[in-house]
Amino acid sequence: MSSLVKEDLEKKLFKPLSQNLYEFIEIEFSVQDRYYLCVSVTKNEEVKIIMVKHYRIGLDEKYEVTKKWSLNDLRMIDGKEADTDNPFFDLHFKKVYTLEAYSCASKYAFVRTVNKLNHAYLKKDLRIVNFDSTYINDDSIWSSNNKDCLVLMRICFYAFSLVCFSLCPLPL
């Protein structure tokens, strides 16, 4: 489902704006409407964070940009609590925006993308606080970067290795 939404967002909103959509997550912003928080890159290699409202008119899907920020203006991302499974986070621009992601996993996916694009395009010191850095940084063995299957495979490999080693007889 999310790949269809991403494809639709790209076709109807981001391509006409000459932007490449890298990541989007659904956020809980309004009871009656759907909202997405998107990260895109312009032709001038400027990274944008965009809040998009999604609604339907008849059978047609419509998207409307409600807020737009530059990554350059982002001062900090606060995950609220690193030790709990919590979908809330704050984006600190000149004003602080408190958002609720659809899930904790989508919150981390969003922050991983912002961090990766920051390193690729801006290389500025972006403060990311109250997140488990193990799941944010790409240099970590456990970083998933949307490769959760790979992480699960590594865990299974280590568990299988432990079982095999525990069953091996020790030489006398």
Mean pLDDT of 18-36: 88
Q: What is the pLDDT of residues 126-154, one digit of tens each?
A: 999 999 888 887 555 544 444 566 677 78
Considering the entire predicted model, what is its pTM?
0.76
Domain boundaries, the chain: 3-138
In sequence order, which ranges of the chain are alpha helices (DSSP H)? 2-9, 104-117, 148-167
CA angle 5, 15, 104 (to 5 degrees): 40
Which CA distances in Å does 127 have to 86, 100, 115, 124?
A: 19, 19, 10, 9
Of residues 30 and 9, more confidently modeled: 9
Rg (CA), the chain: 19
Fold of the 3-138 domain? PH-domain like (2.30.29)
Q: What is the pLDDT of residues 72-102, one digit of tens each?
A: 999 999 999 878 889 999 999 999 999 999 9
Mean pLDDT of 52-61: 89
Report the C-alpha gap between 46 and 49 in whole angstroms: 10
pLDDT value at residue 1? 46
Report the C-alpha gap between 12 and 136 in whole angstroms: 30
> Residues with Cβ < 8 Å from 124, sequence gap 6 or more?
72, 118
> Quick check: helix, strand or coil at residue 3?
helix
